[in-house]
Chains A and B, each alone.
Chain A
């Protein structure tokens, strides 16, 4: 390889088979205490329902399990290893104190049905986080119940529908900009609303004229991500809200990019009626390889009667409790109260930051994105010159001339020690490179990233094949996804 990769060096890592391939009868990693009650005859108690055999479940020892998963872990990239510039995903540092406090005995082992008088600690956490998120968003009320962003979207749209029904007309459709996340249209469909596409203008923002002409009494809401997926703040936000409100529609804000706004501006102040937050983005709870998330939904007063049940209330004696009797509620969206463990982490994050820390966090996130934009402008095509907030979207237009596409550049970035950026999204930018550094990156890491991206652009000019064949340094090369989908192998089976 021609170019020196400064951030990463190859090193040996261990091979490891599937756990089933290590199993053999008689090995065990468990030990139960002696039974202190009489033994039972399962056959007698369960009859036909007794299970005799657990099939191919593994039998391995503890050290093998430790090595197995530790070896697997070394095959992953992670925030703890370096920058994760995934646009829209907000891969920021996950503070370890959050993990520690989530494991404190009474918090980790609280049963959701334990009596309220011995749940005051958990209830206070729910109450405090709710109040702080309301203050941060400038909204009036909140539910913490949804388990993830998409689940929050569904909950939000259920409340939108309930609101319109209470006004005598449930309405028929949701307007969704062409730059939106795929979850937005998928959610609208789950709540039985038709989806109508709204195109962006030359600045990458909502086209006001188009909105004006498409807005009518059939439109229940506009689902808007702000800043949008181009990392652009919708400057006409108040006009957008006015157009919707004039015809009785609601403004739904997808809060996926709330990390660009915290402490600087509040959606509740610029006309948003309902929004969800992703605690695993803005509020630092770990992504964990794809979850768990948490998707609280904050709303304006007029939607409050429709919140999912239960809600936390302060009772007459000053203690906290759950209120279930809410006749206008949209119902429950999940058993129990939501991903409580994520609330603990998010609250610890807000506590560690305070008002000044949260503001500085937002400022650094926006500063980092603009620093990258400046560093790569000219090297990569910037389809929208509109000012950048927390993420910047380039396109592969210049590199495509050499037959190199965004996915190839992304894969080559792996050899330089970085996780790829988000590829091919938003859909309005053909060949998009969507880059979000977050506030967690020091200047040195950003400089290395810019250098890596420039180096790849040079490779595209001089030796595009090296980029097309990337990655070169990983334990597996590009995988055959077509074969995986055509003839799916979704589980291990013993060879015989």
Chain B
């Protein structure tokens, strides 16, 4: 086996040194009745060339060569080449969690820079070293608010990513945390009146997403005011990190739970991605996950260490703020490098291109369907309602190697024939024009959302 660095003579010599005759003696502690006496039923050893062929074949069966208008929590942005050059260095790729600070300063300093940039972009005071992804970060941020307020119920915006809501529901089930939801209005934003009605003296926090699942930018200041008035915290989820280049961050939030995939992380069929939680300094001791802090060594030299570990499971066990141990360090490094490449000016320009492409596409689409939620600003996604079922439109587009917007019926039946379209800086005008050319121009017959609801109800 090519990964094993021993010759038969080495093995023999080692067994002799231990005083054993055969390798089987080492497995004697396993009761004989359970020992496997056959080969595992998996394919024979494959050569490297065969493995590469196998995955190239899978790649061809997996949307290779298609133009996509999908977003919905996973965004296709350009990844600068140096990201992979740098993260492929064995000293990053094959290092362990930096518990031994003296020989982990590279990882530690890069995380410290990551935390700093996340703070700058979100307007928060502290950020952790990463969480699994945006959905679990949102759930953990809610748990954090529950601990901080001593209250137990949570109001969740329906415009939060539906799968994030499902994850939160799973996390909350056995913590006796009731979840209530607040709907959205005609502008796609959280319905503030409904929100206010949903909040009770037992509400620990309000959880919203901005830009929300429809790409609409929430009025975070107004939501924060309502939440804070009732003594509840505000947790804001950000699923499209590139928005932070041009959209004012939710500074009024108490906790921000972010998905940073847009910053240089491949779509990768859904993972690994990079969650992160940012908050105010005063809440840091209730924060889950690893944190890197600056300190000095014995000679007064600047250095970095994992810190405030008394929040974590390996110290506090069942009283820890979370059970999280492994996080997404290497993915956070991708994010870090991406943020460094684009920086203060590039991120803004990048975000502006996303805005321009989306504005162009939405304008073009308005002749082919009804653009919902026009009353509020949006970033790089928009919802189109068509006469024709978007699944039918999409299967036609697929024939032209175009993946259309995400049909929303499954998540929001009340929106009828609606689909969520996304454009990034990588979406070309030609691709937009091609896609639109395949959507019938019959906007005048689009029925109102109300009729659709009635239809669904029947």
Contacts and interface: CB of A to CB of B under 8 A. Distances in A.
A80 B35 CA distance: 33
A16 B108 CA distance: 13
Nearest to B88: A99
Given A114-B70, A353-B1, A147 B136 contact: yes
Nearest to A364: B4
B96 A479 contact: no
Contacts of B193: none
Given A38-B360, A335-B135, A289 B333 contact: yes
B180 interface: no
Contacts of B28: 387
Contacts of B359: 37-38, 40, 45
A102 B54 CA distance: 12
Interface string A104-118: 111111111111011
B305 A479 contact: yes
Contact of A32 (B17, B169, B270, B349): B349
Given A150-B325, A481-B295, A490-B292, A334 B167 contact: yes
A19 B113 contact: yes
Contacts of A79: 90, 94-95
Contacts of A286: 93-94, 330
Given A59-B343, A107-B268, A186-B323, A115 B26 contact: no
B1 A361 contact: yes
Contacts of B333: 288-289
A32 B132 contact: no
Nearest to B266: A108
A62 B85 CA distance: 12
A233 interface: yes
Contact of B327 (A19, A290, A331, A411): A290
A213 interface: no
A332 interface: yes
A378 interface: no
Nearest to A418: B103
A76 B14 contact: no
Interface string B19-55: 1100100111111011110011111111010111011
A185 to B, nearest CB: 4
B174 interface: yes
B132 A147 contact: yes
A66 to B, nearest CB: 6
A78 B63 contact: no
Contacts of A70: 86, 89
B6 A233 contact: no
A176 to B, nearest CB: 9
Interface in A325-383: 330-342, 344, 348, 350-361, 363-364, 366-368, 370-371, 374-375
Contacts of B70: 111, 113-114
Contact of A289 (B107, B132, B309, B314): B107
Given A107-B269, A440-B3, A29 B340 contact: yes
A186 B74 contact: no
Contacts of A385: none
B318 A186 contact: yes
Contacts of B315: 182
B339 interface: yes
A363 B26 contact: yes
Contacts of A60: 340, 343
Contact of B74 (A37, A117, A336): A336
Given A111-B70, A192-B174, A76 B347 contact: no
Contacts of B445: none
A59 B345 contact: yes
Q: Which of A72, A186, A288 has the most CB of B within 10 A?
A: A288
B127 to A, nearest CB: 7
Contact of B298 (A56, A238, A439, A478): A478
Contact of A151 (B44, B61, B132, B330): B132
Contacts of A441: 5
Contacts of A192: 174-176
A483 B296 contact: yes
A188 interface: yes
A187 interface: yes
A250 B181 CA distance: 35
B269 A110 contact: yes
A22 B312 CA distance: 34
B344 A355 contact: no
Interface string B341-358: 111111111101101110
A57 interface: yes
B136 A484 contact: no
Interface in A66-118: 66, 68-81, 84, 86, 89, 91, 93-95, 97, 99-115, 117-118
Interface string B162-201: 0110110111011110000000000000000000000000
Interface stretch (A153-161, A398-406, A457-465): A153-161
A336 B113 contact: no
B40 A355 contact: yes
Given A73-B106, A75-B105, A112-B270, A30 B341 contact: yes
A118 B66 contact: yes
A291 B45 CA distance: 27
B372 interface: no
A293 interface: yes
A47 interface: yes
B148 interface: no
B271 A339 contact: yes
Q: Which of A19, A181, A237, A342 has the most CB of B within 10 A?
A: A19
A49 B247 contact: yes
Contacts of B176: 192
Nearest to A100: B52
26 contacts: A54-B347, A73-B86, A76-B107, A78-B95, A91-B96, A106-B58, A106-B61, A110-B62, A132-B42, A183-B314, A185-B313, A186-B320, A232-B29, A265-B36, A291-B272, A291-B327, A336-B73, A340-B270, A341-B271, A355-B39, A359-B39, A367-B18, A371-B14, A387-B28, A488-B291, A490-B294
**Which 5 A-B residue pairings sit nearest by Cβ, starting from the closest?**
A288-B330, A336-B270, A80-B90, A106-B59, A106-B64
